[in-house]
């Protein structure tokens, strides 16, 4: 079935460094790839997304890249700050069998001050 793999499961960086989280998806018909940030005790919050007709998208300190051939997409956070500490989820919207979005298992990011 459809699957999204996310790595690493835990990532620890020093404040000011960059963080990269990578995901792969299995359904080649996937056409939309959102990233969510979840803080403790809260619901996931959409932080950036990319559609399959775009290779890269940036929003201030965060960027997402998509390689459709390899079925890979990545989240890049530059100049990390302690408030970036959270769990990050990637997801892929599949285009078959209805309106379903498959999520990765999550990456817990720690930013050390």
Partner 1 sequence: DAGITQSPRHKVTETGTPVTLRCHQTENHRYMYWYRQDPGHGLRLIHYSYGVKDTDKGEVSDGYSVSRSKTEDFLLTLESATSSQTSVYFCAISGTSYEQYFGPGTRLTVT
* 1 versus 113: smaller Cβ distance to partner 1: 1
Token output for 11: 């990532």
Toward partner 1, which CB reaches closer, 68 or 78? 68
For residue 88, state whether it binds partner 1 (rule: CB under 8 A): no
How far apart CA 66 and CA 12 sit, in angstroms, is 23
What is the rounded end-to-end Cα distance, in angstroms, of the chain? 41
- Report if residue 100 touches partner 1, rule: CB under 8 A: yes
* DSSP class of 80: -
**Cβ distance 4 to 67 under 8 Å?**
no
Q: Which of 91, 106, 102, 92 is nearest to 38 (CA)?
A: 106
Contact of 1 with 97, CB cutoff 8 Å: no
Nearer residue to partner 1 within complex by CB, 71 or 78:
71
Rounded to the nearest whole angstrom, what is the least distance from the CB of residue 44 to partner 1 in the complex? 5
Tell me, residue by residue from 5 to 34, as one string, x for binding to partner 1 by CB under 8 A and - for no binding. -x-------------------------x-x
Residues forming contacts to partner 1 in the complex (CB under 8 A) are 1, 4, 6, 32, 34, 36, 42-46, 49, 89, 91, 93, 98-106
């Amino acid at each position: 079935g459809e699957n999204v793999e996310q790595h690493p499961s835990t990532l620890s960086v020093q404040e000011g460094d960059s963080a990269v989280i990578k995901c792969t998806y299995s359904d080649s018909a996937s056409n939309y790839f959102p990233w969510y940030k979840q803080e403790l005790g809260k619901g996931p919050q959409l932080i950036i997304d990319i559609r399959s007709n775009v290779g890269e998208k940036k929003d201030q300190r965060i960027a997402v890249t998509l390689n459709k051939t390899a079925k890979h997409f990545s989240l890049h956070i530059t100049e990390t700050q302690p408030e970036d500490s959270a769990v990050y989820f990637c997801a892929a919207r599949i285009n078959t069998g209805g309106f379903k979005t498959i999520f990765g298992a999550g990456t817990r990011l720690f930013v050390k001050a």
